[in-house]
Structure 1
Amino acid sequence: MKKIFLLIALWGVGVNLSLAQFQTGLVASNHAGVMGVTINPANTNYLNNGTDFTLFNYSTTLMNNGYYLQPKPITQLASPKIIKAFTGGSAGDGGESINQTFDRIFDLKRSFQKNNYIFADATIYGPSLLINYKKHSFGLLTSLKSISGSINMPKELEIFLIKGSSAVELQGKSFDLNKFVSGTMVYSDIAFNYSYEIAETYNTKHRLGITAHYLTGINSLDFEDKGGSKWTFVGDSTIVMENGNLLYNYSATKASTLGEMMASRGSGFAFDIGYNFLKKKKSRPTRITVCPNIRFGGKIREYQDYLYRFGISLMDVGMINFNRQTVYSEYQNASGSTKNLDQAFYKGIFALDRQLRYDFSGNPGTTFILDNKYTHYTATRLNVQFDYHFKNNIYFSFAGSHRLPMPGAISMRSPNILSVSARYETLKYELGFPISLIEYQYPIIGLNFRIGPFYMGTNHLPEIIGLRNIRGVDVFMGLKINLSNFRGV
């Protein structure tokens, strides 16, 4: 069980295009269709009475700045030998601990910053569609998301999570938890999108959009330092905590079947709201041409390029109320010692809960609060987009995403990302080259393409092909169909 939990923990605490919010690739294209509303609900497909149907979209992302792997093709990190070491070998049984197995196999190198981060997600979009009719646009999106974000991580805590409390580098060290926050949520999402062209002049167009989400919570995990918590490693795998002000919350079960694991443990809602401004290339209103030989009346919009477009959106403002198989625990002014806390972490969320309660909840001076429900807020963020049509199907764009966690609440955190990209797009083909800056400090380079209905891309191209130290990887792919070829703004 603890081997499986290790993989889940590394995927969750150490591992959605949706949360990563890279606003590059297909989502930034004029052919994004329904995927375009995932960065701004005022986006539309610019088709004449067109329908965009997405069969599926998959994305996964992992980013951090404290550890890295030496350059190697990413396929070597998913070899059967490595998978077997954690799921069918002797990791954690007898000879070496799970921490030691992980460190030996991956040979992680360190390059700690003052504040370290880990972000990850895996998102699957099921059948989704966007219909553009006259000034209106209607969308329906279905998805399953697993998202995770950790910020303000002290370097000592990163060493502890990978090498354990007996790591030589930690002995005799004291450190502040630095208001460290780590959260994970798994949930399904059914979303309804609507946008409307609110104004048109000879030079411009203005569009407002909103997306409403119904969320079903499947799992949740939250660990937070509320400030002032101090850990000291005193040897013999013992940690002494002083002035501990911690939250440890989870909604999960020891599932024996897939159905039990994916069962609902809460529900909630979220909304997105956005605005798009478009500057036409020609100063004239959109003209309608009547073509009697075309079905449904033969009225089509004249194709008209834009010079540039600008968008701003507030995304994922919402929450999930977890109230089934849920534990909320808060420690105020907790002091005392605990031994082998790292092993409790790798045994699972329930083992960690038991050890924290046993070692700290009843200590003198400690206030311990326990409940069977809590509200987990979604990863709210502010997005901006700017797209410039250079010439001959060549576009340059800029995008930014900045997190806005709910103050004083249990809230997911998304990464801060700035991106610039160049792309070439036609109705049938597309090629893009994005450059992004993670947390305003770490640059990455990507590549994406679209051929007919299939698209694929990554924002970590040098890492995937083995040309750069691996601090993160991501990939997205999907299949979509446009049921109209008439374009125009």
Structure 2
Amino acid sequence: MFNPSHSNFAGLGGAIWNPATIADNRYSVQLELLAVDGHATNTAYRYTGPWSLKSPSEDFELESRYLQQRTGDRPNLVSVGVNARGPGLLLRLNSKHSIAVSTRVRAALQGNNVSQELIRNAVDEFENGGRFTDNKLNLNMNAFAEWNLTYGRVVFDEGPHFLKTGITVKRLMGAGSAYLQAKSMDLEVAAPNAASDTTVRIRNLDGAFGYSNPRAFDDLDTEEGGRWLRGQNTPGSGWGADIGFVYEYRPDGDRYRYRDAKGAEKVDHGRNKYRYRLAVAITDIGGIRYRDQTVAYNEIKTANLGVSNDEVNGIDLDNFDERIERILRAQDLSKDTKFVAGLATALNVDFDYHVGGKIYANAAVSQSLRGRYAIGMRQLSYAAFTPRLETRWLEIAAPVSLVNNYQMLAYGLMLRLGPLTVGSNNLQALFEKSNLYGANAYAELSLFTWANKRYKTPKKAKTPTQKVKTTQKTS
């Protein structure tokens, strides 16, 4: 959820939310050097341990003593990921047309629709005995790189009405993907100190499991991301797209038009012109097809599987593929050698109102369009209200959001000083670590040149008062 302020100076960052924003942009040229957004969040447990963004040197341990479970039986979600962009170039070709070329690397571990009892047993390492029915989950890991080409165009500009549209085409290089699904699972956990070696017995399971290049998640760094962008170590490939529209109501639109020295009519691209703005976009349409190093079991229907303590303990990113195949007795299952991991398709809508002067207010909703058991990355739906102070060189925004599929309240702060933007959409990670469901931070550095110099509407010339001579008639 990178910078929900939806500033007029978002540039390439705004194109991710809606590609139409690059048309009639406040920048003539923008070179995005690097932008990084990292997050970790969930709806099941509060973290009460010593670590926080304020105390990053403390050990971060997800032990049960540091986890306070949220009450209720609503299915849970979890998401941990990083999103890196750059380099990227935005260029305004003329008053109507703009283009942009950019790169991006994304990686995330996500859980959706995870039953409360199932996640509690996993955190407790299956130490509490009992029968647990109707368990569900959908776990996904995805890492990929993309090259993006964006085109934005002004399609209507007459009177107070202004409309622009944009499209982004994405070439995707899939570095790795994995998924584990249980549409229905009946578990029996052995009582503590039970004589049997069986820790968990899976009475019934209807699910799916697949992976391609699971080692892609071992060492995530800038060097590895560069290799993905060059198409190295990427067993998957695919295409994606974003499409969007932006409408602006400009009651004083004529004030921003002028004629240059040659008499041609021009529009001042350096200033915001609207009373209000409405933007709608669908982003991340498409997916990545994995064919190499790929294993998929998409019709898992099994019963009465005993799982030992040795099979459960110590599962991590280095061995989860082997462990889960052993737990599911994969040799008895039908195997496929390809699958498609979808992008985080979402509907983005925002309404921006010019309150007056340099003050704006933005209301935004991002609604995930991915199914409950979809394979691939997903956008966690959210709604945000963001007041902001916006100038060319300084911008301050304070988003208040309902995050994690509208379940959690979060507040943040964003600061832009010319080419540098820093912020967080979840300041609880800085000040309220005892009530911490997640953390988020982002930063961006870019170089740019402004759109054409601001044109000040000339004052109307005063009409000189003419002296009228009167002749007085005499009788």
Could you tell me which residue of structure 1 aligns to residue 67 of structure 2? 108
Distance 1:331 1:229, change over 3 A: farther
User: Of the candidates 77, 81, 100, which is equivalent to residue 139 of structure 1?
Assistant: 100
Task: Calculate the TM-score normalised by the size of structure 1.
Answer: 0.81
What secondary structure is seen at the aligned counterpart in 2 of 1:142? strand
Could you tell me which residue of structure 2 aligns to residue 94 of structure 1? none
User: Of the candidates 24, 28, 53, which is equivalent to residue 4 of structure 2?
Assistant: 24
2:242 corresponds to which letter in structure 1? Answer: D
CA contact (8 A) 2:101 2:147 kept: yes
| Count of aligned positions | 433
2:83 corresponds to which letter in structure 1? Answer: T
Could you tell me which residue of structure 1 aligns to residue 205 of structure 2? 244
Could you tell me which residue of structure 2 aligns to residue 192 of structure 1? 149
Q: 1:301 aligned to 2:262?
A: no
Shift of residue 377 of structure 1? 1.0
Could you tell me which residue of structure 2 aligns to residue 370 of structure 1? 335
Shift of residue 478 of structure 1? 0.8
CA contact (8 A) 1:433 1:447 kept: yes
Could you tell me which residue of structure 1 aligns to residue 120 of structure 2? 159
Shift of residue 404 of structure 1? 0.9
Separation in 2 of the partners of 1:47 and 1:408?
39
User: Of the candidates 257, 260, 275, which is equivalent to residue 290 of structure 1?
Assistant: 260
Separation in 2 of the partners of 1:263 and 1:397?
41
Distance 1:332 1:174, change over 3 A: same
Separation in 2 of the partners of 1:49 and 1:174?
57
2:80 corresponds to which letter in structure 1? Answer: A
Could you tell me which residue of structure 2 aligns to residue 399 of structure 1? 364
1:393-432 equivalences under 5 Å are 393-405=358-370, 410-432=375-397
1:454-469 equivalences under 5 Å are 454-466=420-432, 469=435
CA contact (8 A) 1:70 1:469 kept: yes
Is 114-123 or 280-289 further displaced after alignment?
280-289
User: Of the candidates 268, 283, 287, which is equivalent to residue 319 of structure 1?
Assistant: 287
Distance 1:41 1:402, change over 3 A: same
Task: Calculate the TM-score normalised by the size of structure 2.
Answer: 0.84
1:380-399 equivalences under 5 Å are 380-399=345-364
User: Of the candidates 441, 444, 447, which is equivalent to residue 478 of structure 1?
Assistant: 444
User: Of the candidates 167, 185, 191, which is equivalent to residue 229 of structure 1?
Assistant: 185
CA contact (8 A) 2:176 2:235 kept: yes
Distance 1:45 1:468, change over 3 A: farther
Could you tell me which residue of structure 1 aligns to residue 308 of structure 2? 339
Shift of residue 66 of structure 1? 0.7
1:280 corresponds to which letter in structure 2? Answer: R
1:432-451 equivalences under 5 Å are 432-438=397-403, 439-451=405-417
Shift of residue 67 of structure 1? 0.7
Could you tell me which residue of structure 1 aligns to residue 467 of structure 2? none
Deviations 1:274-297 (A, max 9, x none): 1110111415385233158xxxx9
Higher helix share: 1
What secondary structure is seen at the aligned counterpart in 2 of 1:82? coil
2:245 corresponds to which letter in structure 1? Answer: Y
Could you tell me which residue of structure 2 aligns to residue 276 of structure 1? 246
Deviations 1:142-171 (A, max 9, x none): 011112332111122212332312x23xx1
Separation in 1 of the partners of 2:453 and 2:347?
29
What secondary structure is seen at the aligned counterpart in 2 of 1:177? strand
2:268 corresponds to which letter in structure 1? Answer: R
Distance 1:129 1:423, change over 3 A: same
What secondary structure is seen at the aligned counterpart in 1 of 2:400? strand
Distance 1:164 1:200, change over 3 A: same
Could you tell me which residue of structure 2 aligns to residue 40 of structure 1? 18
What secondary structure is seen at the aligned counterpart in 2 of 1:427? coil
Structure 1: where are the runs of 5+ without partners? 1-20, 84-100, 363-367
What secondary structure is seen at the aligned counterpart in 1 of 2:15? helix
User: Of the candidates 52, 55, 64, which is equivalent to residue 42 of structure 2?
Assistant: 64
Shift of residue 481 of structure 1? 2.2
Give 1 or 2 for the bigger CA radius of gyration. Answer: 2
1:135 corresponds to which letter in structure 2? Answer: K
Structure 2: where are the runs of 5+ without partners? 456-475
Distance 1:73 1:148, change over 3 A: closer
CA contact (8 A) 1:425 1:431 kept: yes
Distance 1:29 1:151, change over 3 A: same
CA contact (8 A) 1:47 1:484 kept: no
Deviations 1:83-105 (A, max 9, x none): 7xxxxxxxxxxxxxxxxx7416x
Separation in 2 of the partners of 1:378 and 1:134?
33
1:84-123 equivalences under 5 Å are 102-103=62-63, 107-113=66-72, 114-123=74-83
